[in-house]
Amino acid sequence: MDYEIITIGDELLIGQVIDTNSAWIARELERIGLRVIRKTCVGDSLVDITSSISTAFRRFDLVIMTGGLGPTKDDVTLKAICSHYRCGMHLSQAVLDDIERLFAETGRTMNELTRNQAMVPDRSLILRNLVGTAPGIWFEDDDSVLVSLPGVPAEMEWLMDNEVIPRLQKRFVRDTYIMHHTISVSGCTESALAIRLAGFEAELPASVKLAYLPQPGLIRLRLSVQTPMEFETKAISRKYLALLEKAVWARGSD
């Protein structure tokens, strides 16, 4: 299953804040067999966010968004979602109760802007955020799913672990199991290593992928195996990891 990640915020576009959310999401969903194909970064513009949603759904049936769910005027993600789905918003008493509980536990006074975070799109499934004030949103339309999450990494990760991933597994994931192995190689160029491993790569089955990850003075090779069954993935991983190591250390003329 392929999908797109949309991250939202001017601070991401200008480099003031480094986007770690999309990397975390991609890594965790890859473990359950969901593959990110495209990442899009959009500023705090209602028009641009709405357009990015529509464009993403022309490519994929699953779109995951982070950011723009705060209480200030520049947080317009929910308005963009409502614009895309042509729906209104309503006050969620369950979300308001969660926010009031959180503020009471921390001894803070809730203001009207924070109360507005209990406004959610009509027809959406609310993902309760028990560690922050902005809930997650799950929106299904025909065969497509939109997930909108807070940009705060700790809140995003909590919602992904407790709400999103279990639902994605039930909704999209069929039997699949993935393993990765990484070995590091030094003392040769990437092109020389590719020539050395050409025979190995030519014999790889569809369930096995090899990626080259070069950095100064070092090349990391990532061997990825994906099959429907855990025991099968482990057996294939052992076989091709041994073959890869043999091919890597079989010195030829570089």
Any idea which fold 177-249 has? Alpha-Beta Plaits (3.30.70)
Shortest CA distance to 95 belongs to which of 159, 44, 146, 46?
Answer: 159
| For residue 123, pLDDT beyond 70 | yes
Domains in the chain: boundaries: 2-171, 177-249
Rounded to whole angstroms, how far apart are CA atoms 147 and 137? 6
Tokens 């890859």 locate to: 30
- Which phi and psi (to 5°) does residue 205 adopt? -75, 170
| For residue 60, pLDDT beyond 50 | yes
Identify the pLDDT of residue 51. 97
Rounded to whole angstroms, how far apart are CA atoms 10 and 68? 10
Which of the pair, 160 or 116, is modelled with greater confidence? 160
**Sequence letter at residue 39:** K
Confidence band (pLDDT; 50, 70, 90) for 253?
A: very low
Shortest CA distance to 194 belongs to which of 180, 216, 174, 214?
Answer: 214
113 secondary structure, DSSP code: H
H or E element, residue 226: strand 218-227
Identify the pLDDT of residue 15. 93
Shortest CA distance to 208 belongs to which of 254, 250, 242, 174?
Answer: 242
Confidence band (pLDDT; 50, 70, 90) for 148?
A: very high
Matching CATH topology for 2-171 and 177-249?
Answer: no
Any idea which fold 2-171 has? Molybdenum Cofactor Biosythetic Enzyme; Chain A (3.40.980)
